[in-house]
């Protein structure tokens, strides 16, 4: 009997389901020569593979954080009673929590700066003789292994950085060897020739860009991992939680918001936009009326009203949720649905305009003259010529939704307070910026992670757009 019970949240199910759909779509795309050619252009782009590599790193963190479980408090049958029921912890954890257990459990008293060994602010301390004085108390975990922190801190930090860099270099050499070996095997050339092909960009994909990106990632991850065993690399927040752990936990929330919301937005936008543009008439008028009305309502107010109504529903039915994690997950899923239902209008309008032009082209008119059904024309002639717009909108909407969650959580209508996200971190940091001295590291950490994620998504979207645009040379 396992010491834990797997827990599948709705967002976990949808994330892994989406991953499976992407794998199946990629497999089916291999049968289409135009799709292979387009994705080949993406793979040959250094910018595209660099941004894709960064996105895959974030996706890996999010998927690991989506493997949830509840610990068994007692062995099955030991104290479970006659009914044989197993007692489970009320806390739902993830695989990321288990991997980053030291970061999660090493909670200090309050704020501490990055790589610090003492608290950020002075506190009143009582001496052995009963006298009271103010000083910077030493941290319980950060730099706990230093006997003389004032003298030993710099040397210990540099030593750990060196160890992390050495481990990163070793890991990169292993990955590079695997990649070069695969390229050499596919080209049926010796290992040295495979290395030259990779480095000169003749390996099919932009392997050199991927390897250089992985080198940069590992050169950051290695030292950070080595330092995190002894220090709070990004400091701690108001309640003493490790900021690095909070930023890693925020990645999953950003991915859920960006991907699941897009799954709601795309079907509505694509279906309504194409139908409105192709059929015209009263159908076009009705669809235009709907998205014009939605656009006339301030988005934040509409989302806030929907979120508050959903929160009332959740609060009035506590019996629906066994744990606090399930309750927070329900609000996160509701936020995705609400954002999706209110953010489809822009893409719908764009696709309508493009469809108005496509329906007048000769091959579409010829298909109509030969009696081809409307459904077949839309599927075979119109939609493929709009896919470059859909793909770019897919990634661009992802970036915008990640930023939207941060804004909504900042004003208090975003995710559940128990859900860690970039928005909640920024919301908490706004009060910290007013302190003297200023607590800046929570905001900086959230900004860096969110900036890299959104930038990588935008760069990848540009490459995909250029590769799939049928009007490109």
The 10s digit of each residue's pLDDT in 190-231 is 888 878 888 877 767 888 888 999 999 999 999 999 999 889
Same structural domain, 350 and 379: yes
Instruction: State which of 75, 105, 135 marks the end of a domain.
Output: 105
Are both 217 and 255 inside the same structural domain? no
Residues near 344 by Cβ (< 8 Å), separated by ≥ 6?
Answer: 264, 265, 266, 268, 269, 272, 291
Residues 5, 86: contact at Cβ < 8 Å? yes
Task: Indicate if 265 and 355 belong to the same structural domain.
Answer: yes
What pLDDT shows up at residue 223?
Answer: 94
Name the least confident of 226-235, 256-265, 278-287, 314-323.
Answer: 314-323
Whether residue 288 sits in one domain with residue 370: yes
Instruction: Name the 3-class secondary structure at 163.
Output: helix
Residue 124 lies in a domain: no
Say if residue 224 is in the same domain as residue 248. Answer: no
- Within-domain flag for 295: yes
Indicate the number of domains in the chain: 3
Dig out the tokens for 47 from the structure: 């910018």
Tokens of residue 281, six digits: 């008439």
- pLDDT of residue 470 exceeding 70, the answer is no
Q: Which of residues 201, 228, 255 is at a domain's end?
A: 228
Residues 224, 266, single domain; the answer is no
pLDDT digit string (tens) for 129-173?
A: 667 777 778 888 888 888 888 888 889 899 999 999 999 999 999
Examine the fold and report which residue of 105, 126, 160 is the final residue of a domain before the chain moves on. 105
**8 A C-beta contact, residue 339 and residue 362:** no
Candidate ranges 56-65, 81-90, 320-329, 395-404; pick with highest mean pLDDT: 56-65
Asked if residue 208 is part of any domain, the answer here is: yes
Residues 75 and 32 in one domain: yes
Domain check: are 15 and 90 in the same one?
A: yes
Do 175 and 320 reside in the same domain of the chain? no
Structure tokens that stand for 49 in this block = 């593979």
Q: Which of 467, 344, 469, 470 is nearest to 39 (CA)?
A: 467
Range(s) of the domain holding residue 204:
146-228
The reply to whether 120 falls in a domain is no
* 81 domain residue, yes or no: yes
What sections of 316-421 are H helices per DSSP?
A: 324-342, 345-358, 362-369, 374-377, 387-410
Separation CA 35–CA 312 (nearest Å): 46
* Residue 48 forms part of a structural domain: yes
Contact at 8 Å (CB) between 235 and 114? Answer: yes
The SS3 assignment for 359 reads: coil
Residues 358 and 383 in one domain: yes
Looking up tokens 């690095």, which residue turns up? 244
Residues 196, 262 contacting (CB under 8 angstroms) = no
Both structure tokens of 305: 């009203």
pLDDT of residue 416: 79
Answer whether residue 141 is part of any domain.
no
């Amino acid at each position: 009997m396992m010491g834990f019970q797997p827990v599948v949240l709705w967002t976990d199910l949808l994330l892994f389901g989406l991953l499976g759909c992407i794998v199946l779509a990629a497999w089916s795309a291999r049968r289409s020569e135009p799709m292979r050619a387009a994705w080949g252009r993406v793979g040959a782009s250094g910018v595209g593979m660099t941004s894709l590599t960064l996105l895959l790193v974030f996706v890996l963190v999010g998927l690991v954080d989506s493997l949830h479980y509840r610990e068994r408090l007692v062995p099955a049958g030991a104290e479970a009673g006659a009914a044989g029921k197993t007692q489970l912890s009320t806390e739902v954890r993830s695989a990321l929590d288990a991997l980053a257990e030291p970061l999660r459990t090493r909670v200090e008293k309050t704020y501490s700066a990055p790589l610090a060994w003492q608290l950020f602010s002075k506190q009143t301390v009582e001496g052995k003789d009963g006298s009271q004085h103010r000083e910077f108390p030493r941290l319980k975990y950060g730099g706990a292994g230093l006997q003389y922190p004032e003298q030993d801190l710099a040397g210990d930090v540099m030593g750990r950085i060196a160890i992390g860099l050495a481990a990163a270099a070793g890991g990169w050499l292993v990955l590079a060897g695997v990649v070069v070996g695969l390229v050499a095997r596919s080209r049926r050339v010796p290992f040295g020739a495979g290395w030259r092909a990779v480095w000169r960009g003749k390996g099919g994909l932009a392997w050199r860009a991927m390897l250089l990106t992985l080198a940069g990632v590992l050169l950051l991850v290695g030292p950070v991992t080595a330092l995190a065993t002894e220090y709070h690399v990004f400091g701690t927040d108001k309640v003493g939680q490790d900021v690095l752990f909070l930023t890693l936990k925020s990645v999953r929330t950003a991915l859920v918001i960006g991907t699941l919301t897009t799954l709601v937005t795309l079907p509505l936008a694509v279906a309504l936009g194409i139908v409105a543009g192709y059929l015209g008439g009263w159908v076009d008028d009705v669809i235009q009326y709907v998205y014009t009305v939605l656009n006339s309502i301030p988005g934040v107010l509409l989302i806030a009203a929907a979120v508050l109504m959903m929160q009332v529903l959740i609060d009035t039915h506590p019996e629906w949720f066994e744990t606090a994690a399930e309750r927070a997950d329900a609000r996160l899923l509701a936020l995705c649905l609400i954002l999706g239902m209110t953010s489809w209008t822009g893409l719908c309008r764009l696709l309508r305009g493009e469809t108005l032009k496509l329906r007048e082209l000769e091959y579409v008119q010829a298909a109509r003259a030969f009696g081809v059904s409307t459904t077949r024309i839309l599927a075979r002639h119109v939609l493929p010529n709009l896919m470059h717009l859909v793909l770019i909108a897919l990634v661009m909407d992802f970036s915008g939704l990640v930023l939207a969650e941060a804004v909504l959580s900042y004003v208090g209508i975003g995710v559940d307070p128990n859900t860690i996200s970039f928005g909640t971190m920024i919301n908490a940091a706004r009060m910290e910026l007013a302190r003297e001295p200023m607590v800046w590291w929570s905001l900086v950490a959230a900004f860096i992670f969110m900036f890299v994620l959104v930038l990588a998504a935008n760069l990848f979207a540009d490459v995909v757009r250029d590769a799939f645009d049928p009007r490109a040379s």
